[in-house]
Amino acid sequence: MSSRRILLPQPIESEAVDLLENLGYEIVLSKNPEPLTVSPLLKGVQAIILRTGLKITRKLINHADDLYIISRTGAGLDNVDLEAATERGIIVTSNLGVNTSSVVEHVLSLMLALSKQLPLLDKAVRNQNFSIRYRYLPKDLRNKTLGVMGFGRIGSEVGRICHQLFHMQIIAYDPYLSGDDKKSYKGWVNFTSMQDLFSQADVISIHIPLTKDTRHAIGVRELSLMKSEAILINTSRGAVVDESALIKALRDKKITGAGLDVFETEPVSGDNPLLILDNVILTPHTAALTRECVVSMAVQAAKCVIDVFNGQEPPNVANPKVLNLDRWKHLSKVNDQNLGTSP
Ligand code: NAD
């Protein structure tokens, strides 16, 4: 039996818990993900498996005395102070790509539901307003222009499907893609400026990470460039959009609608003006929370922990600098970084 302890600030799927417990690891489950509850539990744990309900700050990290790894179940790392973890020699891993197809499906659902006016039409039928059908409110996506901000895993897949399925013209803004990457999309993607993307697209989908540079990357200026018929989808992180500016644009009908899975403050507070707008579809950060996806994310996050405990380098280390420390020199490399190695 191993005496290693793994802290779960929030519960994870039983498949992942079973995997860890069957190997003899002790699970420490926090009653809630509040920093005050979690901080005393950090003493004596070697791993944290982290969902999105808690931010692992420098202050929290300072409560840990034997932490090896912070393993994110999802892709985003905005709820980990990466610098503080790196300074303490703690490995941070994320789960890249595991949730891509689930998020893509969610983006398409929001895009189609908004274009086809599903919430409004559903309400009309229930209210005996069947004649709404003659107002021809739904719109087609076919041959329209999709603007993708952030052409990484999720953004490029949304673009590919919309191009192949709906014959949409794809324009994209991603200043960090290499020339070779851009070349690989030649023929069906036009890389453009952010300004052109916002002024030309009929549907805009945001897929950039939240960093100090991308906070409010979409604000009054970008929204004012949008066509009045255009819709905005955000499934990345709420704070990349200036939510007050978006609310104003939606309220003043400067844009047609928005599909939002993420918000500046989560959970959304009861007085958030978005809640009374009828040109938005709101989902509670569930793009990746399909049954299939959460199991897969939790199991992958658990495998990263097991890798480190077994003396192997886990996949998707977000702070590879720490691997040069004496502390981690014993870790053996894994040939295929995307497969992981553990049982
Ligand atoms: P990714 O790293 O594969 O792609 C992000 C892309 O954004 C990269 O190509 C990068 O070059 C680009 N980028 C970075 N800054 C940019 C900027 N200022 N302007 C334009 N492009 C920029 O990530 P991914 O897996 O496609 O995920 C995208 C985002 O979606 C993640 O950062 C995460 O926050 C979010 N996400 C949300 C959910 C959810 O449940 N709603 C689930 C998974 C991921």
Residue by residue, pLDDT tens for the chain (343 residues) are: 458 999 999 999 999 999 999 999 999 999 999 999 999 999 999 999 999 999 999 999 999 999 999 999 998 899 999 999 999 999 999 998 999 999 999 999 999 999 999 999 999 999 999 999 999 999 999 999 999 999 999 999 999 999 999 999 999 999 999 999 999 999 999 999 999 999 999 999 999 999 999 999 999 999 999 999 999 999 999 999 999 999 999 999 999 999 999 999 999 999 999 999 999 999 999 999 999 999 999 999 999 999 999 999 999 999 999 999 999 999 998 654 444 333 2
Q: What is the pTM of this model?
A: 0.85
CB 103 near ligand 1, within 6 Å: yes
Integer Cα distance of 8 and 6 in angstroms: 7
- Joined tokens for residue 8: 């779960």
Catalytic residues: 237, 266, 285
* Comma-separated ranges of CATH 3.40.50.720 domains in the chain: 5-98+290-338, 100-282
Residues 5-98+290-338, CATH architecture: 3-Layer(aba) Sandwich (3.40)
- CA-nearest residue for atom 31, ligand 1, is 209
CB 214 near ligand 1, within 6 Å: yes
Identify the CATH number of the domain defined by range 100-282: 3.40.50.720
Probe ligand 1: pick from 107, 149, 176, 198, max atoms within 8 Å of CB? Answer: 176
CB 204 near ligand 1, within 6 Å: no
167 Cβ contact partners less than 8 Å away, ≥ 6 residues apart: 142, 143
